[in-house]
Amino acid sequence: MSFPTQVIPNFSGPNCAGQFFCWDWVGANWFSVLQPALIQHIWISALAVLFGLVISIAAALYAVRNSWFEKGFSALATFLYTVPALAFFLLMVPITGLNVGTVLIGLTGYTLLLLFANTVTGLRAAPPETIAAADGMGLTRNQVLFKVQLPLALPSIMAGIRIAVVTVISLETVAAQVVQAGLGTPLFNAQRNVFTTGLITTGLLAIALALVADALVVQLQKLVTPWVQARR
């Protein structure tokens, strides 16, 4: 089951000349190229969504009581979301340099609008009678926010995470145009060399990653919002 280790340059190795798809190449490059790229892709996506989530939830908790802040943060997040991804990464390089940090900052920026908007909507969606009962029972304003509104916002927050995860996994392939990181790197190389096996393999890996991640988030959502599934 061992393969020859001659994998440099990336897109040669086994004799794949003229083939549309070449399994030998995939086998020869899995451990040296594809797997590390996949793992890096997973890490960067996870961190970007995590950072975006922390920033968005903190901002939303503040925004729900301060409409000036909601408008301001919303405008910023919308602006970040509308900048074309490639331009964004290129513009960031002079400031943050040619490193993974640049990709991370860019991707985090893209999650903000989705996560912030969904969190604010979720916080506002708590039934008024539940808030009224909580007030009357002697919960403080902060207790209402953290013990009632925030948990009730979870379904909406999780929906935001789903979109953010898939968006980030897909956008991250573009980042390789600027910084060598994630699945975008082999994809970009294959594109440059018109190497169909490399294009198909990395493309499929990115798609599979997005599907698996989405399925995982859906499972997580069921786990953290058990009351949504509970029906008579």
Binding site for other proteins (CB under 8 A): 127, 129-140, 143, 148, 151-152, 154, 225-227, 230-232
**Beta carbon nearer to other proteins, 76 or 154:** 154
CB of 160 to other proteins, least distance (A): 18
User: Residue 134 or residue 187: which is nearer to other proteins going by CB?
Assistant: 134
Of 78, 87, 66, 67, the C-alpha closest to 109 is 78
CA distance 10 to 2: 18
- 86 vs 131, which CB is nearer to other proteins? 131
CB of 124 to other proteins, least distance (A): 15
Sequence-ordered list of residues with C-beta below 8 angstroms from that of 3, at least 6 positions apart, any chain? 24, 27, 28
42/131 with CB nearer other proteins: 131
Q: Which is nearer to other proteins, 98 or 132 (CB)?
A: 132
Min separation Cβ 79 and other proteins, Å = 34
Residue at 172: amino acid letter: E
CB 135 within 8 A of CB 149: no
Separation in Å, CA 162 to CA 49, 121, 156, 198: 10, 16, 10, 28
Alpha carbon 24 to its chain's center: 31
> Do residues 80 and 110 touch, judged by C-beta distance below 8 A?
yes
* Cβ atoms within 10 Å, residue 226: 8
For the bound state, the minimum distance from the C-beta of residue 66 to other proteins, rounded and expressed in Å, comes to 23
CB of 20 to other proteins, least distance (A): 52
